[in-house]
Amino acid sequence: MTLDVRRLTLDVRHLTWQKPETQNPKLETNMATEIEHKYLVKNDSFLNRTEQVIHIRQGYLSHSRQCTVRVRVTDQHAYVTIKGHGNGLSRPEFEYEIPLSDGEQLLSMSQNRIVVKDRHIVTDHGNRWEVDVYHGVLEGLMTAELEVPSEEYTYPLPDFVGRDVTGDSSYSNASLSRLDSPPAQA
């Protein structure tokens, strides 16, 4: 799927999307849903189990109660993600890969509120955990996220997982982008 960034207009008050002439009916009928659990990380035992590390820089172009628009740049890819307000663990999420140069330009529009982190991919009991180690003003903060197929899905917690912060908006990356130091991890 591609995103025609020439037809995407973003500012802090409005998000508008002009559909291309040729529409894909699948895009109109299937809404992507993210179901995710988030935890603080209590130790670095995940390091010896890391399968891949992805360096991430991300910024927020718009953040409101209704939706958040994020741009994320890795070493080789860039994405625009639109996350809606959800209920419980679920919320609508739409992510589109964009050219890396466009991602860099959009990242520069995020008013220097950029989250920098290394994402460690760790598999535990068949589950793919994303452990984020933050840098810059958030140095010292580590979180672990697990996307699950349903809200009823159960899973064992790896030994590096600490307090559950799922639903705690102070640990959302959009909120973290506005901080000058990591939140208290008590």
Q: CA gyration radius for the chain?
A: 17
* Strand ranges for 85-140 from DSSP E: 90-98, 114-124, 127-134
Alpha carbon distances (Å) from 93 to 35, 70, 80, 162, 183: 10, 11, 11, 26, 25
d(CA 143, CA 117) in angstroms, rounded, equals: 10
d(CA 163, CA 77) in angstroms, rounded, equals: 31
Phi, psi of 32 (to 5 degrees): -75, 140
The residue annotated as part of the active site, out of 60, 79, 96, 171, is: 60
Residues paired with residue 121 on neighbouring β-strands, in sequence order:
52, 130
Identify whether 60 is a catalytic site residue. yes
Residues annotated as catalytic (active site), given as ranges: 60
